[in-house]
């Protein structure tokens, strides 16, 4: 079984970095304001995402969104924890991926509970073509999913 200490270290670091960066953005940068970092490519932009990934369900009422996202996030956290604790110690890289997803899900769940929205601020673009803004939690989830997909595609999942 995967080491729970590793889960809490990795997930804890993700949650800490995610929440500290969001607090800094909330305090230092007004909503919809932007600081160019690499002109024409990357800015720190304060955005609130009321929906899910890519604004999914953003147009629904706040009460419907809250119910759906709090339920889905809680379910995801529970499932990821279940999968993590059943990963054999021989699959350390896969365990790392699940720990990243777990930490990212908790980071965004904290925002939904605390603010009813998720704070996003990493804004990549080329000219006027923008990738949807995201945050540290989203990055951890994405990296974790890529690690899981690697194991799935190359048939390296535990049996």
Q: Residues with catalytic annotation?
A: 120, 138
Q: What is the DSSP letter of 54?
A: G
Instruction: Compute φ and ψ for 33, nearest 5 degrees.
Output: -90, 160
Q: What is the dihedral of CA 41, 44, 46, 49, to 10 degrees?
A: 60
Report the alpha-carbon distance of residue 30 to residue 66 in Å, rounded. 24
Report the alpha-carbon distance of residue 134 to residue 91 in Å, rounded. 29
């Amino acid at each position: 079984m995967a080491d729970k200490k590793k889960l809490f270290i990795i997930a804890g670091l993700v949650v800490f970095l995610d929440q500290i960066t969001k607090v800094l953005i909330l305090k230092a940068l007004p909503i919809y304001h932007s600081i160019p970092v690499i002109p024409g490519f990357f800015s720190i932009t304060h955005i609130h995402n009321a929906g899910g990934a890519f604004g999914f369900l953003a147009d629904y009422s706040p009460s419907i969104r809250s119910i759906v996202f709090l339920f889905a996030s809680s379910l995801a956290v529970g499932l990821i924890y279940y999968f993590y604790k059943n990963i054999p110690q021989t699959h350390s890289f896969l365990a790392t991926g699940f720990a990243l997803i777990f930490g990212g899900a908790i980071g965004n769940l904290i925002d939904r509970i605390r603010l009813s929205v998720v704070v996003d601020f990493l804004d990549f673009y080329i000219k006027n073509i923008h990738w949807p803004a995201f945050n540290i939690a989203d990055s951890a989830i994405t990296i974790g999913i890529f690690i899981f997909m690697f194991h799935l595609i190359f048939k390296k999942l535990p049996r």
